[in-house]
């Protein structure tokens, strides 16, 4: 049998348990303001969860944290609900360590089996998030830097949605700056070289071979038409042709990578629609612009920028910062909070975008995450990457070599503020050294167990699907795995709150580890009906949560490997 209704109803949740300990602390020290939060214990031998509340009460109680923890445990255990939930409470070095009843963890498994893919979802927050990531100049193919920002951004978007946020994802097409002029001249030169290989290439052009197919597509469309047109006259139209072709390719690669955007926003379209004027006019109305030397400035130094920024030049032309003004004004109209994930050369944008939020009266509404540099390796070989030098390793190349799953998992494994070394050779390994293989193998291993159970233990499998006999889960390895399942919801909430998608890959690896250890310690398919049913239920719950964690990372959960 599963835990009875009476047993389940007598068990407190962790939040309720924290509230009871908080009440106990206030009864002992009424003048204190205890903050009780239970986290997984630092070491398994200490118990299941722990809180450091005693340290925060030391000044008010005028006692040593260890003495506070001892008194708090004694008072809290007077509560019947606490006694029903806690198997052991140990004050140790000032911490309150709790070992919870097996029924507490059995209830976690039952919840997963009942809620399935909805397990760990947060209630709707009502907060609308605009999340921009991946945006690259439309001057060439997506490269590994975009691979990292795509993985980080899409994983964060999925996690935030799971946590209850309303997330709108977008890409800004940077097609309103000087890079489009350089693109037009570069493609024009490549086009001319198709007829005359000696034709000179512009010094400020994009020298990579990746523009040759664009020139070939131009020749296929227009034949020899552009041979009789001067470079300066040809460049604007050729730039538009190249932009459209390159952006379409970028969109195809993003879709292949499992990333779908709600909006691909052209900067030029914003210009044409008057967005620059609207954004600047709003800043005028707010009185935060000033004129100097014939130009229009925003006082960004007040928000920590190293210098004020020109918005409109002396000749009336908008600056590149004016594009940010327009685009972020548009985003702030439809979102409560704006998050931009930018590449490693964009640190200077943080202060000026903070200044922009301040200027619009939305302090803190714009948040910038910087995805740090990537070093790409293949075993001991470090690969050179420079778009300007023409040495590019494209995201398409990485996908072709290691696959979407490995690329997505590896790109998001480290915190955004840490440089990432991506070893292509490791990403292809079919061994436990490869973290994505290790996690996917855990899911496939469970699927294999369940397939065998269909033939040998069909009744137990059906009972397991219904969440029966979970009270048989009492072995340490079983309870450890259930404890890890309980961490899924808090992990996703933490990813959303801290903008830390790398925590999901760590969670998936930890869950896979706990499953492999359980599998080695506990035979699943046995002659004992209660044990087999309970362990099959635990396997189904683990498979569900592993699949959910992988899905949030944009990684497949294979049934076999």
What residue ranges do the domains of the chain occupy?
5-100, 128-177+257-370, 178-245, 432-552
Q: What average pLDDT does range 408-431 have in this prediction?
A: 95
pLDDT tens, position by position, 312-354: 999 998 888 888 888 999 999 999 999 999 988 888 889 889 9
Which pLDDT does position 130 carry in this prediction? 98
C-alpha torsion angle, residues 532, 533, 535, 537 (rounded to 10) = 160
d(CA 238, CA 235): 5
432-552 is classed CATH 1.10.730.10: yes
Residue bearing the bigger pLDDT, 43 or 348: 43
H-only helix segments in 62-101: 65-76, 80-85
C-beta atoms surrounding 363 within 10 Å: 12
pLDDT tens, position by position, 65-109: 999 999 999 999 999 999 999 999 999 999 999 999 999 999 999
- HEC assignment per residue over 463-489: HHHCCCCHHHCCCHHHHHHHHHHHCHH
Entry pTM: 0.92
* Residue 45 DSSP one-character state: G
d(CA 226, CA 422): 42
Given a cut of 60, whether residue 8 has pLDDT beyond it is no
C-beta atoms surrounding 265 within 10 Å: 18
d(CA 80, CA 10): 9
Tokens of 367: 């948040």
Lowest mean pLDDT of 62-71, 158-167, 372-381, name the range.
372-381
d(CA 270, CA 264): 12
Answer for the pair 398, 147: CB distance below 8 angstroms, yes or no: yes
Domain 5-100 top-level CATH class: alpha beta
Tokens of 162: 């799971």
Burial of residue 80 (CB within 10 Å: 0-12, 13-18, 19+) is exposed
Residues 6 or more apart whose CB falls under 8 angstroms from that of 409 comprise 435, 436, 439, 505, 553, 555
Given a cut of 90, whether residue 464 has pLDDT beyond it is yes
Q: Which pLDDT band, with edges at 50, 70 and 90, does 179 fall under?
A: confident
Domain 128-177+257-370 top-level CATH class: alpha beta
Tokens of 300: 């960004």
pLDDT tens, position by position, 476-510: 999 999 999 999 999 999 999 999 999 999 999 99
d(CA 232, CA 19): 72
């Amino acid at each position: 049998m599963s835990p009875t209704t009476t047993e389940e109803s007598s068990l407190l949740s962790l939040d309720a348990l924290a509230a009871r300990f908080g009440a106990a602390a206030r009864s002992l020290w009424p003048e204190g303001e205890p903050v009780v939060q239970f986290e997984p214990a630092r070491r398994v031998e200490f118990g299941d969860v722990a809180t450091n509340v005693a340290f925060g009460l030391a000044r008010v109680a005028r006692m040593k944290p260890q003495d506070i923890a001892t008194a708090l445990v004694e008072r809290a255990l007077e509560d019947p609900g606490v006694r029903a939930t806690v198997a052991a409470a140990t004050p140790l070095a000032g911490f309150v360590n709790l070992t919870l009843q097996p029924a507490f963890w059995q209830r976690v498994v039952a919840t997963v089996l009942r809620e399935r893919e909805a397990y760990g979802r947060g209630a709707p927050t009502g907060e609308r998030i605009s999340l921009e990531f991946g945006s690259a100049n439309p001057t060439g193919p997506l490269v590994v830097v975009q691979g990292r920002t795509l993985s980080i951004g899409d994983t964060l978007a999925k996690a935030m949605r799971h946590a209850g946020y309303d997330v709108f994802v977008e890409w800004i097409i940077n097609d309103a700056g000087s890079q489009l002029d350089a693109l037009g001249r570069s493609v024009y030169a490549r086009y001319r070289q198709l007829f005359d290989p000696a034709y000179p290439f512009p010094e400020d052009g994009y020298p990579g071979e990746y523009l040759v197919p664009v020139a070939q597509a131009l020749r296929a469309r227009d034949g020899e038409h552009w041979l009789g047109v001067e470079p300066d006259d040809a460049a604007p139209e050729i730039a538009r042709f190249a932009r459209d072709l390159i952006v379409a390719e970028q969109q195809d690669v993003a879709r292949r990578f499992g990333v779908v955007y709600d909006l691909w926003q052209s900067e030029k379209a914003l210009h044409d629609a008057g967005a620059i004027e609207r954004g600047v006019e709003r800043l005028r109305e707010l009185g935060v612009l000033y004129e100097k030397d014939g130009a229009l400035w925003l006082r960004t130094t007040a928000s920590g920028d190293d210098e004020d920024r020109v918005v409109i030049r002396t000749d009336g032309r908008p600056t590149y910062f004016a594009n940010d003004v327009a685009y972020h004004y548009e985003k702030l109209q439809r979102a409560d909070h704006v998050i931009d994930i930018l590449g490693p050369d964009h640190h200077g944008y943080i202060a000026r975008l903070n200044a922009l939020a301040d200027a619009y009266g939305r302090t803190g509404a714009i948040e910038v995450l910087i995805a740090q540099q990537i070093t790409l390796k293949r075993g001991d070989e470090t690969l050179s990457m420079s778009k300007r030098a023409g040495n590019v390793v494209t995201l398409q190349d990485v996908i072709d070599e290691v696959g979407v799953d490995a690329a997505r998992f590896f790109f998001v494994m480290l915190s955004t503020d840490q440089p990432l070394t991506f070893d292509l050779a490791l990403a292809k390994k079919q061994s436990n050294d490869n973290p994505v293989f290790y996690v996917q193998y855990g899911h496939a291993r469970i699927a294999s167990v369940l397939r065998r159970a269909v033939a040998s233990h069909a009744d137990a499998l059906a009972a397991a699907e219904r969440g029966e006999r979970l009270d048989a889960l009492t072995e340490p390895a079983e309870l450890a795995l259930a404890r890890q399942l309980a961490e899924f919801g808090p992990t996703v909430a933490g990813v959303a709150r801290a903008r830390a998608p790398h925590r999901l890959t760590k969670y998936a690896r930890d869950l896979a580890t706990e499953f492999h250890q359980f599998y080695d310690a506990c035979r699943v398919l046995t002659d004992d009906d209660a044990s087999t049913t309970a362990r099959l239920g635990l396997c189904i719950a683990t498979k569900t949560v592993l699949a959910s964690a992988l899905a949030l990372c944009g990684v497949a959960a294979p049934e076999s490997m």
